[in-house]
Chains A and B, each alone.
Chain A
Amino acid sequence: MRLRSGARGTFVPAAGTGASGPVERRGRAAADGILRYGAIRLKRVYLDNAASTQALESVADAVRHALLHAYGNPSSLHGMGLEAERIVEGARAELARALGVEPAELFFTSGGTEANNLALKGAARARARRGRHILVTPIEHDSVLNALNALKAEGFEVEYLPVDGAGRVDPDRVRERVRPDTVLVSIGAVNNEIGTVQPLAAVGQALAALGEERPLLHTDAVQALGKVPLGDVIRHVDLASFSAHKIHGPKGTGALYVRRGVKLLPLAEGGGQERGLRPGTENVPGIAGFGAALRELEMLVQAWPRMRALKEALWEGLRDGLDGVQVRRLGPPPAEAAPHILSVAFPGLRGEVVVHALEEHGVFASTGSACTSRDPRPSHVLKAVGLEDEVAQGAVRLSLSRFTTEEDVERAVAAFRAALPALWRFARLRGRGGAR
């Protein structure tokens, strides 16, 4: 059995060991590079759905069909080209229906990062003669912040909007910051680390009050699709970015909504596909998978109450179940946050140490802050919402999907209970000396 590096940490029963006792605490790297965790096969609990999700069977089928059967080029004149084109247009229609927009307002991209780059660079460059001032929140995804950093080098001025402790912008404050030369405002619909849902409809209304000369409003809606109501948001924005693999579709596929009449400059020149805005032969298998995932979007919407309830159960399990370990909930009040993201912090512990420890118990989670022993930099999001480094470094993100079960939550809480007290004994906060 051979796994690619991305699949490491898979739980497989260790061959030839007669042990039936408790699961070993530490995995063992065998010659084939697979971690073995004693004799017991652990069921995986995947709580990293904000990073990526498992594809649906129907998605895998659609991708496979496109690869093996509908493999024509949508630009070709013959019947096989048409078959591929129908797949692409079918997926576009699904997304249009889900968002309540026209299919002609949607452009397929290679994912959320490209959609964000295309929206921001495309809009800013197209409007550069009108002005060069851009407003953005400091808690955006790197693909937004770094696209804007690139624009700074082209002479654009980027101003960061204030956010409160929950990461929210105030629509009135946004409007106040708009200047005559402001051409673009970018505010993510749902924050990927702490689940903040931004008041985008109110921001859109506030900007609309500025009349003809108002700036364009872009939203990175990658974490929002299928997780929060988007109809009202889409009506108030000019540009919105989406990704397939956050909704059980394939990686490498996304889309950009461009309100009719909004002009963008393309990032690349090519053969005119996607009406010249995103040339290149369409990723038909990816788009087919995106379409299949969108066809089950309603199931995601129906899962909101259950995801919310499970998330609360998870939080309560952590709050009440970890004797003596400090834990804090981050982000907005539960009722106002996205249903799938729970951000917690264990002040004094390192988030990535907690993540590794959970993995030993079969639970897969994420941390916002990238740590290196040389450069323990907490996440820009957690810093922007005013958390002290000590708390931000201990942040762990648990993100659910519509397939998360009550049993998963129980297992996750049990994993925390098993893993954390040992780590807590060596927590930095408690200083050194006690046992000495």
Chain B
Amino acid sequence: MDGAARPGATMLVRYGEIGLKGANRKAFEGALKRRLEEAAARAGAAGVTRVRLAHGRIYVDCEEADEDTRERLLAALTRTFGVVSVSPAQRVPLEWPAVVEAAEALGRRARLAGARTFKVEARRANKSFPKTSPEIARELGAALAKRLDWPVDVQRPDAVVTVEVREWIYVFAETRPGPGGLPLGTGGRGMLLLSGGIDSPVAGWLLAKRGLEPVAVHFHSPPYTGEKALEKVRDLCRVLAAWCGPVELFTVPFTEVSQQIYERAPDPLGTVLMRRFMVRIAERLADRAGAQALVTGESLGQVASQTIESIAAIADVATRPILRPLVGLDKAEIVELARRIGTYEISVRPFPDCCSVFVPRRPATRPKVEDCRRAEERLDVAALVEAAVAGAAHERLEAWPAFSARSSRTDP
């Protein structure tokens, strides 16, 4: 009986790529199932849902969840990486009147929501049900058209009422897209350099979509940056947490590093040297957090520190791969993603780094690795890194409850 005991509500979760991965398939499905269970818990639906795998789908039964909880659950599921789409369905026994009744309720709701026309699609996987797929479509279409006074349009319907016949019959009229990608954690862990700007949260999100669990590190420069700037970074983590589950954040005191570079190094190299320190410190914290890669929001050519020469000079100090998912994106594309993820409104909040005091007057756009290394001979590199790592604070940030409740738009 599909594992479900009684009729009720089920979210039909479809996943794409992980179905293709041959030998790894079981591991991926297991990971996705766990992530969906966590998402259900974040939505406050832990005790009222059951996640089960069958027929290359994941079924999330939630008949005991109330309407609000189901809506939160749907939002959380469509924010789970690896999910291609989710359909909130009614699960009914193999009895024709029950199918018609469930379809009528869904159809009435779709009509109210503005669907002027509809059609019925049917798939009969369970041949013990007496009606064939075309029969189901034709007869249910006729019944709904009559009962709801609802015109059928098989070419371009506003709504599609779908009937899937398995050991239960699933009826649904709505399918919401998920983010796609791969289940979180199947790609390992990545240390995300999170600045508070628009780019870096998007970079973290894109790789999380590929299964890389983000751990965030933020460099702050008190008193040049204030507590509100730090809170902005925490809020960005809270938004990411709505997609990824709780996000770990390291906050690293960076003032001493900036000051020593400012005092002892050539002005044009200031930015690239700071970035080299950030990479060194992030790598140390990556050891601690078990992260195999660094993730940055660099986009080629966006600012002086993001020319190919700068990127090379920065990568010179790294021992891990530095992943730069935004490298080929334009600013407008990044902004669009940030809006979709829900980080944009936070990133543009005006608590900036007034750290501009340490920004070079004329930053080098083509810094040479050799020049960077020579400049660092005059700095206490090891001691500065050590002090910054020792001063790092660690916290774990969870999604705002209100955030999980939003279904489509994801404003903070």
Q: Which residues of A contact B (CB under 8 A)?
A: 5, 8-9, 26-33, 35, 350, 352-360, 370-376, 419, 423, 425-428, 432, 435-436
B264 at the interface (CB under 8 A from A): yes
User: From A36, which residue of chain B is reached at the shortest CB distance?
Assistant: B393
Whether B267 lies near A432 (C-beta < 8 A) is yes
Contact residues, B328-359 vs A (CB, 8 A): 350-359
User: From A426, which residue of chain B is reached at the shortest CB distance?
Assistant: B357
Partner among A26, A376, A427 whose Cβ is within 8 Å of the Cβ of B253: A26
Whether B224 lies near A31 (C-beta < 8 A) is no
User: From A29, which residue of chain B is reached at the shortest CB distance?
Assistant: B393
Please, how many angstroms separate the alpha-carbon atoms of A374 and B198 in the complex? Answer: 14
Across-interface contacts of A428 in B (CB, < 8 A): 357
Partner among B222, B259, B356, B361 whose Cβ is within 8 Å of the Cβ of A373: B356
Question: Per-position contact with A for B345-380: 1 when CB-CB < 8 Å, else 0?
Answer: 000001111111111010000000000000000000
Q: Give the shortest distance, in Å, between A296 (CB) and chain B (any CB).
A: 32
Per DSSP, are chain B's interface residues mostly helix, strand or loop, or mixed? mixed
Contact residues, B49-66 vs A (CB, 8 A): none
Q: Which residues of B contact A (CB under 8 A)?
A: 222-227, 230-231, 234, 251, 253, 255, 259, 262-264, 266-267, 350-359, 361, 391, 393-396
Whether B358 lies near A426 (C-beta < 8 A) is yes
Please, how many angstroms separate the alpha-carbon atoms of A82 and B395 in the complex? Answer: 52
- Listed A/B pairs (10) with beta-carbon separation below 8 Å: A5-B231, A26-B255, A31-B394, A32-B395, A353-B223, A356-B223, A374-B352, A376-B356, A425-B263, A426-B357
Whether B262 lies near A426 (C-beta < 8 A) is yes
Whether A352 lies near B226 (C-beta < 8 A) is yes
Q: Give the shortest distance, in Å, between A236 (CB) and chain B (any CB).
A: 40
Whether B354 lies near A371 (C-beta < 8 A) is yes
User: From A427, which residue of chain B is reached at the shortest CB distance?
Assistant: B357
Whether B393 lies near A28 (C-beta < 8 A) is yes
Supposing A26-B255, A29-B395, A426-B262 touch, asked if A370 and B350 sit within 8 A by C-beta, the answer is yes
Beyond the given A419-B223, A425-B259, please list 14 additional residue pairs across the A-B interface where CB-CB is below 8 A. Answer: A28-B393, A29-B393, A31-B394, A33-B395, A350-B357, A353-B357, A357-B222, A359-B227, A372-B352, A373-B352, A373-B354, A423-B223, A432-B267, A436-B266
Across-interface contacts of A419 in B (CB, < 8 A): 223
Please, how many angstroms separate the alpha-carbon atoms of A428 and B224 in the complex? Answer: 13
Across-interface contacts of B395 in A (CB, < 8 A): 29-33
User: From B233, which residue of chain A is reached at the shortest CB distance?
Assistant: A29
Whether A27 lies near B222 (C-beta < 8 A) is yes
Please, how many angstroms separate the alpha-carbon atoms of A5 and B233 in the complex? Answer: 13
Q: Give the shortest distance, in Å, between A156 (CB) and chain B (any CB).
A: 30
Across-interface contacts of B226 in A (CB, < 8 A): 352, 355-356, 359
Whether A29 lies near B354 (C-beta < 8 A) is no
Whether A435 lies near B355 (C-beta < 8 A) is no
Please, how many angstroms separate the alpha-carbon atoms of A401 and B293 in the complex? Answer: 53
Whether A26 lies near B231 (C-beta < 8 A) is no
Across-interface contacts of B262 in A (CB, < 8 A): 426, 432
Q: Give the shortest distance, in Å, between B325 (CB) and chain A (any CB).
A: 25
Whether A29 lies near B230 (C-beta < 8 A) is yes
Please, how many angstroms separate the alpha-carbon atoms of A123 and B351 in the complex? Answer: 37
Whether B393 lies near A360 (C-beta < 8 A) is no
Across-interface contacts of B394 in A (CB, < 8 A): 31
User: From B395, which residue of chain A is reached at the shortest CB distance?
Assistant: A31
Supposing A5-B231, A432-B361 touch, asked if A356 and B259 sit within 8 A by C-beta, the answer is no
Across-interface contacts of B234 in A (CB, < 8 A): 33
Please, how many angstroms separate the alpha-carbon atoms of A28 and B234 in the complex? Answer: 14
Whether B350 lies near A435 (C-beta < 8 A) is no
Whether B227 lies near A28 (C-beta < 8 A) is no
Q: Give the shortest distance, in Å, between B231 (CB) and chain A (any CB).
A: 6
Q: Give the shortest distance, in Å, between A17 (CB) and chain B (any CB).
A: 13
User: From B396, which residue of chain A is reached at the shortest CB distance?
Assistant: A31
Across-interface contacts of B354 in A (CB, < 8 A): 350, 352-353, 371-373
User: From B251, which residue of chain A is reached at the shortest CB distance?
Assistant: A29
Q: Give the shortest distance, in Å, between A358 (CB) and chain B (any CB).
A: 8
Across-interface contacts of A376 in B (CB, < 8 A): 356
Please, how many angstroms separate the alpha-carbon atoms of A356 and B355 in the complex? Answer: 12
Whether B352 lies near A353 (C-beta < 8 A) is no
Whether B267 lies near A26 (C-beta < 8 A) is no
Across-interface contacts of B351 in A (CB, < 8 A): 372
Across-interface contacts of B227 in A (CB, < 8 A): 8-9, 27, 35, 356, 359
Whether A357 lies near B393 (C-beta < 8 A) is no
Across-interface contacts of A352 in B (CB, < 8 A): 226, 354
**Residue of A358, A375, A436 with most chain B CB atoms under a 10 A cut-off:** A436
Whether A353 lies near B224 (C-beta < 8 A) is yes
Q: Give the shortest distance, in Å, between A33 (CB) and chain B (any CB).
A: 7
Q: Give the shortest distance, in Å, between B233 (CB) and chain A (any CB).
A: 10
Q: Give the shortest distance, in Å, between A318 (CB) and chain B (any CB).
A: 17
Please, how many angstroms separate the alpha-carbon atoms of A358 and B253 in the complex? Answer: 17
Across-interface contacts of A357 in B (CB, < 8 A): 222-223
Please, how many angstroms separate the alpha-carbon atoms of A425 and B263 in the complex? Answer: 9
Whether A356 lies near B352 (C-beta < 8 A) is no
Q: Give the shortest distance, in Å, between A22 (CB) and chain B (any CB).
A: 15
Across-interface contacts of B230 in A (CB, < 8 A): 29
Across-interface contacts of B266 in A (CB, < 8 A): 436
Whether A373 lies near B391 (C-beta < 8 A) is no
Whether B259 lies near A8 (C-beta < 8 A) is no
Please, how many angstroms separate the alpha-carbon atoms of A375 and B352 in the complex? Answer: 10
Whether A372 lies near B222 (C-beta < 8 A) is no
Whether A8 lies near B357 (C-beta < 8 A) is no
Whether A26 lies near B391 (C-beta < 8 A) is yes
Please, how many angstroms separate the alpha-carbon atoms of A419 and B352 in the complex? Answer: 21
Supposing A373-B353, A423-B223 touch, asked if A30 and B358 sit within 8 A by C-beta, the answer is no
Across-interface contacts of B358 in A (CB, < 8 A): 426
Whether A371 lies near B391 (C-beta < 8 A) is no
Across-interface contacts of A359 in B (CB, < 8 A): 223, 226-227
Supposing A28-B391, A359-B227 touch, asked if A436 and B264 sit within 8 A by C-beta, the answer is yes
Supposing A355-B226, A426-B262, A432-B361 touch, asked if A373 and B255 sit within 8 A by C-beta, the answer is no
User: From A357, which residue of chain B is reached at the shortest CB distance?
Assistant: B223
Please, how many angstroms separate the alpha-carbon atoms of A407 and B357 in the complex? Answer: 33
Across-interface contacts of A30 in B (CB, < 8 A): 393, 395
Ranked 7 nearest A-B pairs via Cβ: A356-B223, A357-B223, A372-B352, A31-B395, A373-B352, A373-B356, A356-B226
Across-interface contacts of B224 in A (CB, < 8 A): 350, 353, 356
Please, how many angstroms separate the alpha-carbon atoms of A430 and B225 in the complex? Answer: 21
Across-interface contacts of A31 in B (CB, < 8 A): 394-396
Whether B231 lies near A356 (C-beta < 8 A) is no
User: From A9, which residue of chain B is reached at the shortest CB distance?
Assistant: B227
User: From B351, which residue of chain A is reached at the shortest CB distance?
Assistant: A372
Across-interface contacts of A371 in B (CB, < 8 A): 352, 354
